[in-house]
Amino acid sequence: MRFFPSSFLAAVFLASTYSSEAQSPTGTESYSLQACVDKALAYQFSVRQAANNVRAAQSDRLASVGGLLPTVNAGAGNFFNSGLSIDPVTNEVNRNALSSASGSLVAQWTIFDGFQTWNSYRQSQVQVALAEAQLDEARNGVALNAASQFLAVLLADEALRIAQEQETVSNQLKNRSKKLLDAGAIAVNEYLSVESQWMADVQRSVVAANQYTLGLLVLKQFMGLPTSAELDLVRPNNLPNGPSAVLALLPEARAPYSSNRWFVRRSISSWPAITASSALRDLVHPRCRCRGRCLRAIPTVRANSVATTPRSSQLVFGSTG
Reported as a single tens digit per residue, the pLDDT across 129-174 is 889 988 988 999 999 999 999 999 999 999 999 999 999 999 999 9
Distance CA 231, CA 237 (A): 18
Residue 108 has a pLDDT of: 84
SS3 call for 304: strand
The H or E element that residue 122 is part of is helix 116-183
Provide φ and ψ at 20, rounded to 5°. -60, -40
Residue 122: Cβ-neighbour burial (10 angstroms; 0-12, 13-18, 19+)? middle
CB 177 within 8 A of CB 190: yes
Residue 11 has a pLDDT of: 42
Q: Which residues of the chain have pLDDT under 70?
A: 1-27, 83, 85-91, 94, 98, 237-264, 266-270, 273, 275-276, 279-280, 282-302, 304-321
Distance CA 154, CA 212 (A): 8
Reported as a single tens digit per residue, the pLDDT across 96-118 is 776 777 788 888 888 877 778 88
Residue 101 has a pLDDT of: 77
Residue 6 has a pLDDT of: 40
